[in-house]
């Protein structure tokens, strides 16, 4: 009997350990050690000023939510609000860049906002409020979304309501500049429930994605001219690279029930074809001609895991990520890898309405 009891105890211990392991996200735990300060600041070490961006804070908030890591989420949000939004995110958009000045003081280095970080912070707050039943997050998420609508959304004749990349600097007398990677389609779907201008933005954001990729590749930045519309003629500034790589990832992460997913996958198929042909995603693409140049870093391979529809092609990129996982000196490649590999490992999904479907499981829910 004693042997049976010991055997059962050993089995129970093993099951408990496995359940516990399933709850942790090792790549996220390592990211916290390598990139996040004790106070909740995401540090990009590639810059001598040891910078922090609103984008970095927003992505880390998303990963903390997906990992059911309430402590990290609270720390990240509090740092963001206190240091980037002057203590009140309901009253002020976060400044996009924070770091060390020449006089060795630490402060906001650029007070302009970055809407890609802003929408992820708003969405993460709203979803944290819903999933964790924490109304103060919901309240702040709604207030931030209203602030974004007031300060970063503009009406463009011939297009409609559009999300500017930031509060200032993207509009002139002749037109507007946009970044197709800034508003993921699933977030656009999620925000529709809040009415104007978000209900209109979903359609115009789709137009931005579909109409600015003449050869099936998305640009980092694109101009809409008041008189001539999209400026898609060959130009050295019209390239797809470190920003645009996210467009393919957001597309791949769309729920299969999303009515626009198939259309977007078909539009961007040249990226899949090119990657399958060479085994590596291109680093830069001339948007007007479709000419590719160089090989993207390992984070690019991770972003394409949700996007590639061919299992063999996925396996090639999955192996590259496993063999070349980013270290503690590659902030951007690491966050792209957390997104792409995290999705590939089924750590999270999005519903057709843009809500988070976390893979917490019953054991995980009980362990926090």
* Active-site amino acid positions: 55, 116
Sign of CA dihedral 353, 129, 182, 156: positive
3-state class (DSSP) for residue 90: coil
Contacts of 22 (CB under 8 A, 6+ apart): 361, 363, 364
CA triple 140-146-149, angle to 5 deg = 140
CB 271 within 8 A of CB 217: yes
Task: Say which residue the tokens 């989420």 belong to.
Answer: 73
Tokens representing 188 are: 């656009």
| Cβ-based burial of 211 (10 A; exposed 0-12, middle 13-18, buried ≥19) | middle
Q: Residue 229, by phi and psi: left (phi above 0), alpha (psi -120 to 50) or beta?
A: left
């Amino acid at each position: 009997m004693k042997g049976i009891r010991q055997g059962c105890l050993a089995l129970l211990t093993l099951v408990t350990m496995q359940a516990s392991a399933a709850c942790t996200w090792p790549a996220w735990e390592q990211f916290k050690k390598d990139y996040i300060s004790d106070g909740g600041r995401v540090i990009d070490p590639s810059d001598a000023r040891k910078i922090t961006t609103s984008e970095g804070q927003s992505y880390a908030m998303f990963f903390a939510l997906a990992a059911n890591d309430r402590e990290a989420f609270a720390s990240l949000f509090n740092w963001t609000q206190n240091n980037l939004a002057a203590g009140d995110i309901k009253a002020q958009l976060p400044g996009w860049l924070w770091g060390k000045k020449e006089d060795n003081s630490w402060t906001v280095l650029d007070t302009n906002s970055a809407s890609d970080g802003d929408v992820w912070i708003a969405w993460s707050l709203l979803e944290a409020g819903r999933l964790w039943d924490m109304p103060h997050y919901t309240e702040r998420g709604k207030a931030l979304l209203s602030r974004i609508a007031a300060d970063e959304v503009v009406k463009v004749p011939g297009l409609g309501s559009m999300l500017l990349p930031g509060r200032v600097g993207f509009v002139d007398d002749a037109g507007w500049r946009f970044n197709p990677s800034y508003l993921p389609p699933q977030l656009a779907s999620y925000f529709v429930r809040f009415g104007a201008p978000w209900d209109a933005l979903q359609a115009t954001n789709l137009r931005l994605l579909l109409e600015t990729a003449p050869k099936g590749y998305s640009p980092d930045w694109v101009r809409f001219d008041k008189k001539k519309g999209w400026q898609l003629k060959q130009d050295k500034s019209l390239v797809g690279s470190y920003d645009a790589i996210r467009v393919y990832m957001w597309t791949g992460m769309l729920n299969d029930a999303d009515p626009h997913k198939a259309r977007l996958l078909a539009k961007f198929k040249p990226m899949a074809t090119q990657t399958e042909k060479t085994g590596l995603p291109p680093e830069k693409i001339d948007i007007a001609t479709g000419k590719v140049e160089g090989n993207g870093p390992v984070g690019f391979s991770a972003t394409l895991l949700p996007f590639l529809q061919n299992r063999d092609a996925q396996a090639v990129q999955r192996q590259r990520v496993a063999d070349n996982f980013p270290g503690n000196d590659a902030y951007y490649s690491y966050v792209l890898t957390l997104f792409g590999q995290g999705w590939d490992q089924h750590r999270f999904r999005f519903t057709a309405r843009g809500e988070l479907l976390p893979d917490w499981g019953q054991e995980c829910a009980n362990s926090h």
